[in-house]
Structure formats: structure tokens, C-alpha cells
Amino acid sequence: MKGLMVQGTASSVGKSLVCTAICRLLANEGKQVAPFKSQNMSGLSIHTEDGLEISVSQSLQAKAAKVPYLPEMNPILLKPAKNMETDIIILGKKLNRMSGMHYREQFFEEGQNLIKKSLNTLSNAYEYLILEGAGSPVEVNLRDRELVNMRVAELADVPVVLVANIEYGGVFASIVGTLALLPEAQRARVKGIIINKFQGDVSLFQDGIDFIETYTGIDVLGVIPYFANEFEEEDGEAKSKKSASDAQISEWANHFKKHIKWEKILSILANDVVRK
């Protein structure tokens, strides 16, 4: 399938919004594009008119892509509940409530099959898929049974763009450390780096860009200045279910494109088969 996956060095680096911008920009170019996130852990959700419970971020991305929301765009939604339990919502319908350990032990194979079927459904209906990861791809204690990052990139066989947040410092260590902890075959999937939430004069950061590209051998696709009207991100505690307007989505997408090497994004999308 054609597409790419946006992963992050951590939660709240801007993965959801990067996917939103890419979906809108591709849709503006007349491409049939759909978002996908295999599994969300979030208290932010909304209900469709037919009663399906869906993640806010994928509904926003579908809106950006100018396509109807389908439950396959987020086949697994995990909503934190009381007593360290989680509501398991599958294709928009509540399946069960269970502990994190029970879910990890019992749902892995079923989850993989569900993700494969959802990816196939979407790839048959759309030209491009923009996949979103969750948290970090190098949570080494969870790597053997993860259903959200590199395992999904491998199932879809798509390249990866890595997003890092410079807002609080430590951006060099987060990028280099993430890449260092990836197995070689997974690291080879990473075709570009985006640095998000920059404040200040970007020309003063050129030495930093040069260091990252020289040290990692991976292109920095852009340094995105902090966006004042940034929508609420999905990771973390749910605070609001208010949906961004179409005008806000366009404003963010234009801001993103202004500071990104868009032609390189398109070239990454064109190289949908990752060379082993």
C-alpha cells in the first residue's frame, strides 16, 4: 500500500497534527487519502450518528482528508476507566473492560488480525494511507507485543517519518536515542525527521539541523514553528471534545507546508516499498 507512518520520539510531540496537515495537503492536491491509527489510548472520543464511538484525532484527520470517518481508521480505542482497567472499543463498539495486563496477554493476536483487516479495507478504498503511531517506538519493555508503531509500519510496509518536539529541550538526545534503540531493519524505515514546536529564529538552528543530518544520515524535512492556534492533542488527559473547524485545519496545513520540504514528503510517499 502507498503511504507513510508518522511516529514520535515521545507522546505529545505533534504526531496527530502532522498527520492532519499531510491529509489536508494531499486532499488539496486531489489525492484520495485516509488516516489510520491502529490503537489509541485516550479519553477523547466522540459518537457518530449511528452510535459508533471514535477517536477525536482520526475523525479530525478524516475531516482534513475530506472523507467520511470509517471505524477501520481507528480499529482499537482504549479508554481509561476506574481501578486500572480500560474499556476496549473495537471498530466503534465496546467489547469489554479489562486490565492492561489482561489486554496485553489476551488481545495481541486478535489485535494484529484486526489491524491487518482494517489496513486492507482502507488500502483497497484509498490511494494513500497516513498512519499515526503512539508514544515512542522504542518502549523496550513493550516491544515484543506492541500494536502501534513499527510492527504496524512493517504490516503496512510503509516508510516512517519521525517527529520530535523541541519545545522543552533535549531534541538532539531524543532523536539520536530513538534511532539508536531501533533495530537496524526498523531504523532503515525512517526516511525523514520533523522538528516541531520551534520558537525563535530558525536560522540560529541551522547548525543543529546539520548535526542531526550528519550524525543520523537522515534528512530533516522541516522545523515547524509553534502554531499559536494549535488544536488540542489526543495524548494525555481529555479536556475537550470540541472539533476544529475546516478553516482551522486549512490554516494549520498551510503553516505546516510553509516550513516543510513538501516535495520530499511526496517522494517518501512515492517510495511505498521500503528496501530491505
- Read off the pTM: 0.92
Question: What are the pLDDT digits (tens) for 149-201?
Answer: 999 999 999 999 999 999 989 999 999 999 999 999 999 999 999 999 999 99
Amino acid in position 263:
E
DSSP strand pairing (128-132 vs 160-165): unpaired
Cell numbers that stand for 262 in this block: 513538501
| pLDDT per residue of the chain (276 residues) written in tens, 0 to 9 | 899 999 999 999 999 999 999 999 999 999 999 999 999 887 778 887 788 888 889 999 999 999 999 999 999 998 877 777 788 889 998 887 766 666 676 778 888 999 999 999 999 999 999 999 999 999 998 888 889 999 999 999 999 999 999 998 999 999 999 999 999 999 999 999 999 999 999 999 999 999 999 999 999 999 999 987 666 555 444 444 557 889 999 999 999 999 999 999 999 998 744 443
State the sign of the Cα–Cα–Cα–Cα dihedral 202, 208, 210, 212: negative
Cell of 276: 530491505
pLDDT tens digit sequence for 64-79: 999 999 999 999 998 8
In angstroms, rounded to a whole number, what is the distance separating the alpha carbons of residues 2 and 268? 10
> What residue ranges do the domains of the chain occupy?
3-270
Residue whose cell numbers read 514520535: 8
Cell of 153: 509500519
- What is the topology classification, in CATH, of domain 3-270? Rossmann fold (3.40.50)
